[in-house]
């Protein structure tokens, strides 16, 4: 989708720097004395809305499912469910009723979070600025970032949840003794007790590095791609910032802007789908590794 003209978004801003900073600023609320915690309200709001949308669509599909020829809506949902279920069966070799629903939730929810990036970059901020102005506030301070996955707090939070679930899976499938033993005896093995004790520090260090890198790479990969995509849309919108319709350069740059936005949107559709798939697949792989013994 082509970004709308950027002049409608920031009534009080001037210049590209202010425009970019405005689009990259979250709607925040401080909690506690001395700003103990700052909440990104826009991230929480859109995450909640998309979660309810996901639940509503799939619950409605499950209730309306028929054994005969499915409708278009049911067909799309069944394709997604079958696709995810097939990947789980191929990748996860243990038994768990949690893996398939978890993987489906991650894939669809991350995709929906990423999909907001395809909405024209000025539409939602412009809408919020008008609502903010209607309540008697300065629209120049009406900040809004609508893509939850472009917020590191979101991606890191999901990655830490996957990390905690991975540890729980390891404990549940191997028991406390087997789980602890594996930390100090893999990947390097030794036959005698002396060798096991000598290799234990190296195994423990490698395990800490391995487990610590996973949530970081999982969160930063998704965040980096979505943040970059959001920023590129903002930069494309700058092509006609404060442009005059009476000048021929506006029409020339507008044409370039349309082509650039269309091309990046088409490419970005692949990115948002791929990132949702990667996050889901790595989650399945990590849980499968946690459930299997070395």
Catalytic residues: 217, 221, 225
Q: Which of 288, 62, 246, 37 is nearest to 162 (CA)?
A: 288
Query: Residue 189, Cβ neighbours under 10 Å: how many?
Result: 11
Using N-to-C axis directions, what is the helix angle for 99-115 and 41-64, rounded to 10°?
Answer: 120
CA angle 25, 27, 33 (to 5 degrees): 110
Phi-psi region of 136 (alpha: psi -120 to 50; beta: other; left: phi over 0): left
CA quadruple 279, 216, 168, 94: dihedral, nearest 10: 40
19, 238 in Cβ contact below 8 A? yes
Cα separation of 48 and 154, whole Å?
A: 12
Give CA separation, 14 vs 20, 56, 241, in Å: 11, 42, 9
Residue holding tokens 């404060």? 242
The alpha helices in 116-192, defined as continuous H runs, are 123-134, 152-185
163, 215 in Cβ contact below 8 A? yes
Cα separation of 76 and 27, whole Å?
A: 35
29 Cα distance to chain centroid: 22
Q: How many CA atoms lie within 13 Å of 187's alpha carbon, on the beta-carbon side?
A: 6
Cα separation of 271 and 111, whole Å?
A: 10
């Amino acid at each position: 989708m082509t970004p709308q003209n950027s002049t409608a978004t920031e009534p009080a801003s001037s210049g590209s720097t202010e425009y970019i900073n405005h689009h990259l600023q979250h709607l925040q609320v401080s909690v506690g004395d001395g700003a103990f915690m700052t909440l990104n309200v826009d991230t929480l709001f859109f995450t909640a809305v998309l979660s309810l949308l996901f639940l509503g669509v799939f619950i409605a599909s499950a209730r309306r499912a028929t054994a005969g020829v499915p409708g278009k809506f049911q067909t799309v949902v069944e394709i997604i469910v079958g696709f995810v279920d097939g990947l789980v069966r191929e990748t996860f070799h243990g038994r768990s009723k949690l893996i398939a629903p978890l993987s489906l939730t991650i894939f669809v929810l991350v995709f929906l979070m990423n999909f907001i990036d395809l909405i024209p970059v000025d539409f939602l901020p412009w809408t919020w600025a008008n609502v903010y102005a209607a309540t008697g506030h300065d629209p120049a301070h009406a900040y809004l970032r609508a893509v939850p996955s472009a917020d590191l707090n979101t991606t890191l939070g999901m990655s830490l949840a996957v990390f905690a679930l991975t540890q729980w899976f390891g404990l549940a499938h191997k028991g406390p003794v087997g789980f602890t033993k594996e930390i100090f005896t893999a990947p390097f093995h030794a036959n005698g007790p002396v060798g096991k004790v000598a290799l234990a520090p190296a195994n423990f260090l490698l395990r800490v590095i391995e487990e610590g890198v996973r949530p970081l790479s999982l969160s930063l990969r998704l965040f980096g791609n979505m943040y970059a995509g959001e920023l590129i849309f903002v930069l494309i919108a700058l092509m006609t910032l404060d442009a005059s319709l009476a000048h021929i350069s506006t029409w020339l740059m507008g044409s370039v802007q349309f082509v650039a936005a269309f091309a990046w949107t088409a490419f970005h559709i692949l990115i948002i789908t791929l990132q949702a798939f990667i996050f889901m697949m790595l989650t399945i792989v990590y849980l499968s590794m946690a459930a299997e013994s070395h």
